[in-house]
Amino acid sequence: MVNEELRRMVADLNRELEETENIQLRYSHALATADLSRAELLHPIDGWHASAAGHNVLAEAAFNELGPSLKFLGIK
């Protein structure tokens, strides 16, 4: 529910910024959909936060979503 609202907010803001060529907002659900279902991906003390291995999964998910932003910036 929160992710859908964030996606709508980004879409609305992008419509407001249509005439602005140097600003681009992007929504990604990559972190929300990253698969942290294996026990070793959760911190052993609280079982809620990501472990070091879990952080690697989150980093990979975020990195995989950077393509369009890098292209917009002329980096890729």
Q: List the chain domain ranges.
A: 2-72
Q: Read off the tokens for 40.
A: 């070793």
Distance separating alpha carbons of residues 74 and 72, to the nearest angstrom = 5
Query: Do 29 and 1 form a contact (C-beta atoms < 8 A)?
Result: no
Predicted pLDDT of residue 1: 81
The model carries a pTM of: 0.79
Q: Which residues contact 33 (CB under 8 A, 6 or more apart)?
A: 61
Residues 24-50 have pLDDT tens digits of 999 999 999 999 999 999 999 999 999
Averaged confidence pLDDT in the chain? 94
